[in-house]
């Protein structure tokens, strides 16, 4: 009987925030696929691989696969198709395979392309839960994310100025992911609501890179990187 391909959630960036179950799977896997990106300066970066190395996982069993950082979705999809093909081949050899995912594997994670394709080809997959970035952010800020009857809405980077203003005025708790995609709108709304608190985070859990502030001026001055997130409470 073939082992399932296991999608292991790594947590937001701090190695200690992986689950014991996830760690056990990484230790027992014979082959680990981990996404990496080549930056415009040709440097390869991989948050996943940094976490694996901190956890003491042998580098020899890690296969770093490239996911292009491009607005052209088709390029990324092509990369996912290629890696899925490689996984299928190795799976047929009977290896225990893990695929790493930042944060939680089932929360706005692009590895779902790989998972869906494997399922379509009747290859068993399983998923190990992890701590998503917004939960880690909440803990960093020391806030209670939602209380009593409050409703939480997660916005994945695309929202119009009027809609964001409306959601805030309605008193919803908002988590904005991929803030780099709506930086202008967020800053416009912040100028409109100078007395409202905005919790802004970058690289939560990542040593020497973590940043958290509620200071309007500091947020407005920053260029939002890919790993940034906003929490807005009533």
For ligand SAH, the binding residues (CB under 6 A) are 12-13, 102-104, 107-109, 132-133, 177-179, 201-206, 226-229
> For ligand SAH, which residue has the nearest CB?
103
Under 8 Å between Cβ of 176 and 198: no
Closer residue to ligand SAH (CB): 4 or 106: 106
Tokens standing for residue 53: 């190395």
Closer residue to ligand SAH (CB): 91 or 231: 231
The closest alpha carbon to 100, from 52, 61, 147, belongs to 52
Convert 182-194 to b/e letters by CB count within 10 Å (16 or more is b): beebbbebbeebe
Closer residue to ligand SAH (CB): 58 or 215: 215
Q: How many CB atoms lie within 10 A of CB 23?
A: 17
Residue 165 CB, shortest distance to ligand SAH, in Å, is 20
Residue 109 CB, shortest distance to ligand SAH, in Å, is 4
Residue 67 CB, shortest distance to ligand SAH, in Å, is 12
Rounded Cα distance between 22 and 78, Å, is 28
Residue 105 CB, shortest distance to ligand SAH, in Å, is 7
């Amino acid at each position: 009987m073939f082992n399932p391909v296991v999608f292991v959630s790594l947590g937001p960036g701090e190695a200690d925030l992986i689950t014991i179950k996830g760690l056990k799977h990484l230790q027992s896997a014979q082959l680990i696929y981990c996404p990496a990106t080549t930056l415009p300066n040709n440097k390869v970066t991989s948050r996943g691989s940094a976490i694996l190395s901190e956890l003491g996982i042998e580098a020899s069993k890690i296969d770093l696969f490239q996911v292009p950082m491009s607005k052209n979705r088709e390029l990324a999809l092509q990369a996912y198709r290629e890696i899925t093909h490689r996984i299928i081949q190795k799976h047929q050899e009977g290896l225990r395979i893990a695929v790493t995912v930042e944060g939680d594997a089932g929360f706005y994670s692009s590895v779902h392309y790989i998972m869906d394709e494997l399922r379509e080809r009747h290859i068993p997959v399983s998923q190990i839960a992890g701590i998503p970035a917004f939960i880690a952010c909440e803990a960093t800020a020391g806030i209670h994310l939602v209380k009593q009857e409050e409703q939480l809405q997660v916005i994945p980077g695309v929202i119009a100025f009027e809609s964001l203003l409306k959601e805030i005025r309605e008193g919803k708790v908002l988590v904005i992911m991929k803030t780099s995609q709506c930086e202008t709108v967020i800053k416009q709304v912040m100028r409109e609501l100078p007395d409202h608190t905005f919790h802004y985070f970058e690289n939560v859990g990542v040593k020497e890179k973590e940043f958290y502030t509620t200071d309007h001026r500091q947020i407005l001055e920053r260029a939002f990187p890919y790993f940034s997130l906003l929490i807005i409470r009533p």
